[in-house]
Amino acid sequence: MSVPQFGIFAQGTIAHEFIEFDVRPDVDLATAAAMLQQIRQPAVSAGGVNLVVAFGSDFWRALAPDQAPPELAPFRPIGTVGGHHAPATQHDLWLWISGSSRDVVFEHSRSAALAVEEVAALASEQAAFVHRDSRDLTGFIDGTANPTMLEAPKAALVPDGQPGAGGSHVIAMRWVHNLRAFDGLPVEEQERVFGRTKVDSIEFADDAKPPTAHIARAEIEDEAGEELPIYRRSVPYGTIREHGLYFVAFSADRTRFDRMLARIFGVSGDGLHDRLADFTRPVSAAYYFAPPLDLLADLAR
């Protein structure tokens, strides 16, 4: 049985860094694979710091074609330009480094970037943090309906017997909030946007929940009406000038992300969109694959 990357499920960290890279032109695959050993040294992964490594679909298929889930694909733009819209900002490599303090995370992030700079160019970086009791900057608790720790692996990991088993599909999106507009709503209306109460995060009953509420649009079901869960690990980020949510989630199946986003951005065919998207917009979006530890070790060798 494959062992997933521990950082996917690690709890208790308050400082986060998300880094994306593009593989430099003309870098051969053997050299690119060797770089993995550099970013997996104890100096990067020890001392209470968690590291998750994930690959864009083209890069992963080049490195390990037999271990690529068939639905693995790059992110494509979704929605209507000028309306509710998510741009595609796909890159080759994604790192998530988290730890107990900002200085430690910064040191390890810089170390990881230096380790791969000969083969991969830095494309983007975003520092993030845990806000109060895991609340989004809107004041609502994020990830309330997440699977429990016992259920999370089933939601997040590719099942045994499939290519890439033990790995996980990743969605990474940076959303910019319009807090001035959202904070201008009465609390009761803010709660209708989300579909749950603000202080204690109690979900509205189905008959009281607006069909455009965030919970109503972001939850997806299979043909039998059973919920198809994803495992969310989002954290806030920002400055006074620009702030929002770095949305991260892991799934056993990439198509769950596709269905969720179609409902959020109003292209699922029912004419509705997620009302929360009236107060926040994505400025980056990409899909990645986080392979299990044994596949990472094989590449490094």
pLDDT in tens, 118-137: 999 999 999 999 999 999 99
Q: CA of 133: how far to CAs of 139, 200, 235, in Å?
A: 10, 11, 11
Give me the mean pLDDT over the 201-220 stretch: 96
Q: For the chain, what is the mean pLDDT?
A: 93
Give me the mean pLDDT over the 188-209 stretch: 97
Q: Is the pLDDT of residue 32 over 90?
A: no
Among 28, 58, 66, 142, the active-site one is: 142
The residue segments making up the domain with residue 79 are 6-300
The residue assigned the tokens 């400055």 is 239
The answer to whether residue 160 sits within a structural domain is yes
Question: How many CA within 13 A on the CB side of residue 142?
Answer: 23
The answer to whether residue 1 sits within a structural domain is no
At residue 42 the predicted structure's pLDDT band, cuts being 50, 70 and 90, is very low
Which CATH number belongs to the domain containing residue 290 in this structure?
3.30.70.3420
The pLDDT, as a whole number, for residue 191 is 98
The answer to whether residue 131 sits within a structural domain is yes
Which SS3 state, helix, strand or coil, does residue 205 take? coil
Cβ count within 10 A of residue 279: 19
Number of domains in the chain: 1
Residue 278 known to be catalytic: no
The answer to whether residue 257 sits within a structural domain is yes
The answer to whether residue 164 sits within a structural domain is yes
The pLDDT, as a whole number, for residue 47 is 52
The answer to whether residue 77 sits within a structural domain is yes
The answer to whether residue 200 sits within a structural domain is yes
The answer to whether residue 152 sits within a structural domain is yes
